[in-house]
Structure formats: C-alpha cells, structure tokens
C-alpha cells in the first residue's frame, strides 16, 4: 500500500503497469468536510484524455474505488464531491507514470 503523507489518500497496490488494477482510498478534505458522495476524477496524459468521474463507495473511514490503468504514460487524478467541490492538491492534482 502506498500512502500520500497527511493527505488521506492511499493506493493499493501503487499502480505502475498498463492493465494493473488499483484500489484508491480517500479520507481527505472533502470527506472531512462531510461530503455525502465523492468521485475520483482521473485521466491520462497532460490533456487528461479519457477523463472520467468514478463514484467512490463510502466506508467507515472514507471512500474507495477500484480503477484499472488503461493507458501508459501519465495517470492524473483528483477528487470532487456531489456539490462540485474539488480536492485537487492545490491545483497540482496527483500523478503517476504508468509503463507498458
């Protein structure tokens, strides 16, 4: 499991291969602010190609969803709630490189 320090985000396993499946857990700002529904907003490359909003499931500690790495290169993600509030790492989002 890979945890992003003090941001309430963990990835299990840390994705780095095309086709790999990853569980993303979120206990960050939106959940702490009482969001009823959180979505993972993710896409590939600098232009966020194939961007999608994936509904996360509520747990006792936060929200989770599973995502498969569908493209190689840059994988970018952030979070939003049903009221369209965003947690995007102060505009930097979160990114990882995915290899073929």
Say if 29 falls within a structural domain.
yes
Residue 41: which domain range?
2-95
Residues 10-49 pLDDT 10s: 999 988 899 999 999 999 999 999 999 999 999 999 899 9
Q: What is the CATH number of the domain that holds 21?
A: 2.60.40
Contact present, 9 and 15 (Cβ < 8 Å): no
Say if 12 falls within a structural domain.
yes
Task: Say if residue 13 is preceded by a cis peptide, omega within 30 of 0.
Answer: yes
Structural domains counted in the chain:
1
Residues 60-99 pLDDT 10s: 889 999 999 999 999 999 999 999 999 999 999 999 999 9
Say if 22 falls within a structural domain.
yes
* C-alpha dihedral sign at 49, 45, 78, 97: positive
Say if 100 falls within a structural domain.
no
Say if 63 falls within a structural domain.
yes
In this prediction the pTM is 0.93
Say if 81 falls within a structural domain.
yes
């Amino acid at each position: 499991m890979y945890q992003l320090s003090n941001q309430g985000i963990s990835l299990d396993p840390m994705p780095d291969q095309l086709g790999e499946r990853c569980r993303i857990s979120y206990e960050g700002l939106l959940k702490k602010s009482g969001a009823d529904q959180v979505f993972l907003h993710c896409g590939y490359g600098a232009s966020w190609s194939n961007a999608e909003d994936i509904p996360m499931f509520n747990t006792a500690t936060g929200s989770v969803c599973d995502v498969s790495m569908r493209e190689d290169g840059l994988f970018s993600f952030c979070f939003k709630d049903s009221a369209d509030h965003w947690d995007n790492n102060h505009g930097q989002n979160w990114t990882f490189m995915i290899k073929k």
